[in-house]
Amino acid sequence: MKRGHHFAHRPFINYAREGPMAFGSSIDQRKTSKCNHLIDIFRRHGTLSKAMARSLSGYSMDTVISIFNSLRKQKIIRQSEGRQKSKGRKAEFYTLNEGHSLYLGVTFNQSGIHSATVSFSNRVLDRRFTPLPHGIGRKKFETTLAGHVGEALRASDNEGRRVSSVGISVPGDIDLRSGVLNSYIYMPALRNITFSKILPGAVNGGTIMVDHNIRGMSSYAIHEIEGIASCERTLFVSARSGVAHSIIAGGAVITGRGDLGHVRVSDEKVRCDCGRSGCLDCYFSYRGFKELYIEKVQGKKKAGVEIPRQIILDALAKAFTEKKGPLYGELEKRLLYFTTALMDAANITAPERIVLSGELLALYGEPVAEIQRLVSMRFPDTGYVSHFGRARMSYHDLGTEIAAIGICFDLIKRDWGYESAG
């Protein structure tokens, strides 16, 4: 008989807006904070001796020995090999026991379900993808999601590892208090779906955290893109199904569900789902580009034939690279609309850095260079774009799965957070 999968936490509670635990109000909490601080040092340095831990942490040797003994007893660290000094007594080296506590992150879009299993060491141990058929219904999606999560959990169990919590990084409009997806325009059948009701059979009643996918992507960027954690203010922009953004300040996500898609960029009477006209979402969204493809490439007579997403994006990218014909002009106009919205966001937030990602920008080849070209042509810097002009802008080719990895980083911070002694 197979062992059941159990969690250490309570049933569904959305921790998405809870900060790291406030340590320091009692002796036990201060001890936990010091343990978690040392664990974080292990994350950054890999293998440590007690002497190295003392030097890096600033704690006394007695404190370091006490923490090491506690971490060994709990099987949080294990003995490892390390570089010995040429003289003197040989040191014992330790590293994190990656299987001690695992986190499963899940995200999805109309193309499929992505998941990642991440150790509390922050290392990604497993990635999975399940494709979804076009126009999938609610029931089929629910069973597919539960099956995907169950398979990922069983894989960890079979290796003798324990998943502590599951995080779901969701596109669309979510109620963060209840974990309900109010709507997702590309999968309308999922309206009012409640994730905590889908997954109990798979996760055996464990804690599920639900948050917006842009927040998970932002958390990934903080950990994996050099310099963002120490930057005073970063504007992070994701252009996938639509254009979402977040503000990152001092290594923390300040706003994690911004929507640039409903910034008005045109006087054209193109009606948006929000009820207004001329929104960026009408032009710079996957649906907008798909409509452009149908009109200019596929032809309206074949509009009912479903074309794979990547074929559409590749065709548009090819047209932009060739830089000729009406399709190129339309694509350039849409990038100009995106640039206009981006400048507005930059002038409101005054970021040091602007970090761009997403497949809609990838079709422009070198999106940063193209944006800067349009700015120099259309918007000479007379003060209107001063904040935009000062910000350092970069593009990063990151896949949708980063939302699943990022929500794991959030869960790890929740469970293993600490306050520094200073």
Domain boundaries, the chain: 230-396
Tell me the mean pLDDT in the region 87-101. 89
Give the containing element (helix H, strand E) for 255.
Answer: strand 252-259
Give residue-wise pLDDT tens across range 400-411: 999 999 999 999
pLDDT over threshold 90, residue 305: no
**Between 203 and 258, whose confidence is greater?**
258
Q: Which of 124-138, 198-212, 214-228, 306-320 has the lowest mean pLDDT?
A: 198-212
What's the CA gap between 400 and 396, in Å, rounded? Answer: 12
Q: Which residues contact 227 (CB under 8 A, 6 or more apart)?
A: 353
φ/ψ (deg, to 5) at 222? -60, -40
pLDDT over threshold 60, residue 22: no
What pLDDT does 421 receive? Answer: 54
- Report residue 269 as tokens: 């009477």
pLDDT over threshold 90, residue 258: no
Counting Cβ atoms within 10 Å, is residue 121 exposed (0-12), middle (13-18) or buried (19+)? Answer: buried
Tell me the mean pLDDT in the region 44-52. 94
What pLDDT does 66 receive? Answer: 96
Give the containing element (helix H, strand E) for 318.
Answer: helix 309-322
Residue type at position 367: P
State the number of CA atoms in the 13 A half-sphere of 138 facing the CB: 12
Give residue-wise pLDDT tens across range 274-289: 888 899 999 999 999 9
Q: Which residues pair with 289 in a beta bridge?
A: none
pLDDT over threshold 90, residue 196: no
Tell me the mean pLDDT in the region 351-355. 96
pLDDT over threshold 80, residue 261: yes
- Report residue 110 as tokens: 């109309």
3-state secondary structure of 201: helix
3-state secondary structure of 183: strand
Sheet of 353-357, strands arranged across:
252-259, 243-249, 234-239, 353-357, 392-396
Which CA distances in Å does 421 have to 38, 52, 67, 119? 12, 18, 15, 25
Tell me the mean pLDDT in the region 252-274. 88
Residue 379's pLDDT band (cuts 50, 70, 90): confident
**Between 307 and 221, whose confidence is greater?**
221
What pLDDT does 259 receive? Answer: 87
Which CATH number does 230-396 carry? Answer: 3.30.420.40
Residue 6's pLDDT band (cuts 50, 70, 90): very low
What pLDDT does 307 receive? Answer: 85
